[in-house]
Amino acid sequence: MAAISFQVEHQCETARAGTLTTPHGIVETPIFMPVGTQATVKGLTPEMVAGVGASIILGNTYHLALRPGAERVASFGGLHQFMHWGGSILTDSGGFQVYSLAHQRKITDHGATFRSHIDGRLLELTPESATQIQEQLGSDIAMCLDECPPAQAAGDVMERAVNRSILWAGRCKAAHTRPDQAQFGIVQGGLDIDLRRKCAEPLVDLDFPGYALGGFSVGEAPEQMHAALPASAALLPIGKPRYLMGVGRPLDLLVGVAAGIDMFDCVLPTRNGRNAHALTHFGVVKLRNARHAADPGPLDAACGCYTCTNFSRGYLHHLFAASEMLGPTLVSLHNIAYYLDLMRNARAAIIAGRYPDYVANCVARWAEKA
């Protein structure tokens, strides 16, 4: 029996509404997945994250392998038990760190060797070890190890990364043994649709349960990504979940949904929350601005989250001015609630056959003064 199942239930043009079933529950798509890199969504309890409707979150192979170690997590019964999360979990393979930590890693066809940012010790990630670590973590969905080059990489560098990602995908699949865990392949190729096709075709032949588009939001302009997404998504199987990795802003998610993407993740909601930037139905609210100090209104009048139904902009401004820990928590919670609401409403619009109107209405609201 397959570890996951996926069904596309409605379409509006190329936008899709579906249902992904994992060993830990049902995920209605399109979906935003909050990022819990180190076995925590920063500043929030699992109950808070579940309370705003999150059904699936992320963990990270590289960071958890360094601290506390995959064996330690396994000794607690796996990542779900370790962090007290009852929903689904997807783990990244460490492929993004191949990009983000390029200054402290070496890469060959064998794998990537990192100098730990914590204590300087070496960590080698190969397709086999990245697969084994994720099996020890016990995530519902494990990602293949891939090479993620920057958007501005030279053509030969990009092609080498594609070839290496294909090679590694085959080795990841051969190393994968856990029947209750699905493994997704990752398509690289930057903005070059021919390279994307070169990467996608052999990965599709490997028949993974799902597929991701990597190598976006790594230095290219948003408009370039938006232009490349439809053709890139069309390379992936229709009947399997499609995941756009590490993206991004609310508009990026809506453009991705329009292109046929089902799953998204990004650190932006919690990172912005820690920095007093709230993402709302009416654009970005910068809560440190003095104009919010005496504002008795809610952060987002169109949001029903705990933050918006209980606290004023004036109070949130005060928390950040006083460097109180509650400020980042409340705004991070709202930002995640907003992203999940954005996807729930996108799903409803797809089912109703009015997704283009939904996008147009969102863009018009964001243009208003928040």
Q: Could you list the active site residues?
A: 92, 265
Q: Measured between alpha carbons, how far is 283 from 276 in angstroms, rounded to an integer?
A: 14
Alpha helices by DSSP H, listed for 234-277, are: 250-259, 268-274
According to DSSP, the residues that pair with 183 across neighbouring strands are: 142
Burial class (CB in 10 A: 0-12, 13-18, 19+), 348: middle
Q: How far is CA 51 from the centre of its chain?
A: 19
Rounded to whole angstroms, what are the CA distances from 365 to 112, 281, 284, 361, 368? 44, 7, 11, 6, 5
Closest by CA to 224, choosing from 192, 187, 191, is 191
Q: Measured between alpha carbons, how far is 350 from 139 in angstroms, rounded to an integer?
A: 29
CB-CB contact of 31 with 94 (8 Å): no
Q: What are phi and psi of 132, to 5 degrees?
A: -65, -40
N residues, the chain: 370
Q: Measured between alpha carbons, how far is 6 from 58 in angstroms, rounded to an integer?
A: 19
Burial class (CB in 10 A: 0-12, 13-18, 19+), 37: middle
